[in-house]
Amino acid sequence: MIRLFKQTSVALCVLASLTACNNESTTQTQQVQKQVAPALTAKDADAFLIATEKELIALGIEGSRAEWIYSNFITDDTAALSAAANQKSTEAGVRFAMSAATFDDVEVTATQRRKLNSLKQSLVMPAPQNSAKSAELAKIGSELGGMYGKGTYTTKAGKTLSLGDMTSTMATSRDYDELLEMWQGWRTISPEMKPLFVRQSELGNEGAQGLGYKDLGAMWRSNYDMPADDFAKELDRLWGQVKPLYDDLHCYVRSELGETYGVDKVPQDQPIPAHLLGNMWAQSWGNIYELVAPENADPGYDVTEQLAANNYDEIKMVKGAETFFTSLGFDALPETFWERSLFTKPEDRDVVCHASAWDLDAKDDIRIKMCIQKTGEEFNVIHHELGHNFYQRAYKNQPTYFQNSANDGFHEAIGDTIALSVTPKYLKEIGLIDTIPDESKDIGLLMKMALEKIAFIPFGLMVDQWRWKVYSGEITPENYNTAWWELREKYQGVAAPVDRDANAFDPGAKYHVPGGVPYSRYFLAHIQQFEFHKALCEISGNTDPIHRCSIYNSKEAGKALNTMLEMGSSQPWQKAYKVLTGSEQMNATAVLDYFAPLQVWLKEKNKGKQCGF
């Protein structure tokens, strides 16, 4: 996950006849804007953008530091500082977006228009043009983040567990009842979030409507260089391409779980109980690989065990991921990265352990924040997070307005693209394994990858499907939980293991919902990473099957990747996409190409079984 502070600014009215903005009231500001708007020119827009960029940089640094401190030292005081910074940023961003909107009918250059649009769309949770409501929205965001970060559950045996503790149990336990207790226990933290989320949604909608959008969901969907409705259709098209592969995987996994737990607990004509898939949110299924692994597919190594055998601690794991990027020709991370990042969970305080990458000064102060566990899965996550950091540094010379990924899916995809190269070939090159398994072991490796990647795709789609319906009013507060599980059954074929109270708020148990982080980016990333990987493999001269390819040490691939990364968001994402893939349209067939041997195997295994949900 990227945690790139949304840089926003006070709405300086650097227009033809003004030298400063009158911020005493929204009405006065709007009256001034209305008076000067007819006289605005491209020259005025240029002056406005130049002056504003300075404010963006200053506010970005201030806000990022406040948020970093809060995430690493969760106290009432740091929460207040974070809320104040968020309020200042949000108020500034809304006013600034309103000022940028005064140039909507002015003839400006394509670059100026893109900068102005970036200001209008930069806020994830826009506040209404009202100081009291803005303060309320900022406070709600801080409170929701604190509730999640400090959430714990006390077991029936009286032991208090953190989310990390419960996540570990979900990953390793095969005790049906223990898994159920962990699953239910974590969801006790979220009901109290519900009224705050309801109010946050109301205020966010009001802010989005003030910027001219139908609702907050429409505003989020408008940030993809295409009409909002077209973006929703594009996601449906991509999901349609991948769904047959997911259906084959779901059918096979459900059958195997039925053998493990009994068909009375895993009915073969029903959705899979959500607590049995090895993950607190059933969003990825890699932790149950041992239960569904193909026969004789053991590659002969376990990355977690190999990390331990080779004395990898948390720092060495990060150094290893850094080496992948430097092998492609990227410069090493700055010394400040190692001095300022958080790699392990402190024993003396609460922190937000959710892995994230940070860019604090839009230059070189890049960091990660993780409570690293020494596992093969975390080794991949580190590659992912560093992908954000190397992307951030690649576009640092772009104007502030364009210091972002081509679309938010790109940011998530880059690190995962690198992680796709963490193949047996790569592991042998870095000395973690001695021999590369032959192709007879590929089905097992592809199964393990599919349990992570393919299993995630419908979850990546449905989280925002739910939120978009909340913001549009289609889903009302009394139906939050019911609608959540209806969508999960529809897209994932996954169901709550026990009846859920209508007043429960299970969406709040997923970080990105109380965190206010749009989720479609993760869906896009899971499509894009396979296209990027395929393209980079071709550039590197790879002759292996795509699932066996590693671009490690390919300077040619690194050069092509950097060319795209340096563009930031200066061009429509379609242009950046074409730089690497040769096409301006996403195509999920690269996913199918990668997993083609596995899908043939799944179809054979599923013969005679009752599939579907």
For 108-166, what is each residue's pLDDT tens digit? 999 999 999 899 888 888 888 888 998 899 899 989 999 998 999 999 999 999 998 99
61 and 163 share one domain: no
d(CA 235, CA 588): 11
Please, which pLDDT band fits residue 376 given cuts at 50, 70 and 90?
confident
136 and 170 share one domain: no
57 and 137 share one domain: yes
Looking at the domain assignment, is residue 127 inside a domain?
A: yes
Give the range of the structural domain holding residue 76, as residue numbers without chain letter.
2-145
66 and 21 share one domain: yes
Give me the percent of the chain exceeding a pLDDT of 90: 75
135 and 60 share one domain: yes
CA atoms within 13 A on the CB side of 259: 9
pLDDT over threshold 60, residue 532: yes
d(CA 484, CA 282): 14
Q: What is the pLDDT of residue 37?
A: 45
Residue 149 makes CB contacts below 8 A (sequence gap 6+) with 71, 74, 350, 351, 352
Compute the residue count for the chain: 613
Looking at the domain assignment, is residue 262 inside a domain?
A: no
Q: Average pLDDT over the chain, rounded to whole?
A: 90
22 and 68 share one domain: yes
Lowest mean pLDDT among 15-24, 98-107, 362-371, 481-490: 15-24
Q: Which of 354, 526, 533, 547 is catalytic?
A: 354
pLDDT over threshold 50, residue 22: no
Q: Which of 412, 452, 489, 531 is catalytic?
A: 412
Summarize pLDDT for 248-257 with one digit per residue, the tens.
999 999 999 9
pLDDT over threshold 60, residue 38: no
13 and 68 share one domain: yes
**DSSP line for 515-562:** TT---HHHHHHHHHHHHHHHHHHHHHT--S-GGG---TT-HHHHHHHH
Looking at the domain assignment, is residue 449 inside a domain?
A: no
112 and 182 share one domain: no
d(CA 253, CA 433): 29
pLDDT over threshold 50, residue 20: no
Q: Which of 250, 383, 384, 533 is catalytic?
A: 384
Q: What is the pLDDT of residue 1?
A: 60
- Please name the amino acid found at residue 224: Y
15 and 91 share one domain: yes
- For strands 2-3 and 356-359, give the pairing: parallel
Q: What is the pLDDT of residue 300?
A: 81
Q: What is the pLDDT of residue 127?
A: 85
116 and 165 share one domain: no
Tokens 């500082």 belong to residue: 81
Q: What is the pLDDT of residue 104?
A: 85
25 and 89 share one domain: yes
What would the mean pLDDT of 297-312 be, rounded to a whole number? Answer: 90
Q: How many CB atoms lie within 10 A of CB 374?
A: 14
What would the mean pLDDT of 410-419 be, rounded to a whole number? Answer: 88
Q: What is the pLDDT of residue 2?
A: 56
Looking at the domain assignment, is residue 600 inside a domain?
A: no
Query: What values do phi and psi take at 297, rounded to 5?
Result: -105, 0
d(CA 380, CA 441): 20
Looking at the domain assignment, is residue 86 inside a domain?
A: yes
- For strands 152-154 and 160-162, give the pairing: antiparallel
* 388 in active site: yes
Residue 91 makes CB contacts below 8 A (sequence gap 6+) with 127, 131, 134
Looking at the domain assignment, is residue 120 inside a domain?
A: yes
Angle between helices 314-327 and 376-394 (to 10 degrees): 50
Looking at the domain assignment, is residue 141 inside a domain?
A: yes
**Tally of domains in the chain:** 2
Give me the percent of the chain exceeding a pLDDT of 70: 94
Tokens 């340096």 belong to residue: 566
* 474 in active site: no
> Regarding predicted confidence, which is higher, 31 or 272?
272
The whole-model pTM stands at 0.84
What would the mean pLDDT of 393-419 be, rounded to a whole number? Answer: 92
pLDDT over threshold 50, residue 29: no
Q: What is the pLDDT of residue 503?
A: 86
Q: What torsion, rounded to 10 degrees, do the Cα atoms 271, 277, 282, 287 define?
A: -160
* 384 in active site: yes
Please, which pLDDT band fits residue 368 given cuts at 50, 70 and 90?
very high
d(CA 245, CA 451): 12
Residue 78 makes CB contacts below 8 A (sequence gap 6+) with 69, 70
pLDDT over threshold 70, residue 63: yes
* 385 in active site: yes
Q: What is the pLDDT of residue 83?
A: 87
d(CA 486, CA 488): 5
pLDDT over threshold 90, residue 417: yes
* Token code pair at residue 25: 């009231």
* 426 in active site: no
d(CA 117, CA 401): 9
pLDDT over threshold 70, residue 224: yes
pLDDT over threshold 50, residue 467: yes
38 and 62 share one domain: yes
CB 329 within 8 A of CB 558: yes
Summarize pLDDT for 553-583 with one digit per residue, the tens.
999 999 999 999 999 999 999 999 999 999 9
Q: Which helix (H) or strand (E) holds 152?
A: strand 152-154
Angle at 510 between CA 153 and CA 233, to 5 degrees: 165
Q: Which of 70, 491, 511, 522 is catalytic?
A: 522
Q: Please name which of 119, 47, 6 lies closest in space to residue 515, comparing C-alpha atoms.
A: 6
* 250 in active site: no
* 478 in active site: no
Q: Which of 385, 452, 489, 531 is catalytic?
A: 385
Q: What is the pLDDT of residue 15?
A: 29
Residue 398 makes CB contacts below 8 A (sequence gap 6+) with 566, 567, 568, 569, 570
pLDDT over threshold 90, residue 27: no
Looking at the domain assignment, is residue 499 inside a domain?
A: no
* 412 in active site: yes
Please, which pLDDT band fits residue 26 given cuts at 50, 70 and 90?
very low
Radius of gyration of the chain (CA): 24
Lowest mean pLDDT among 31-35, 69-73, 218-222: 31-35
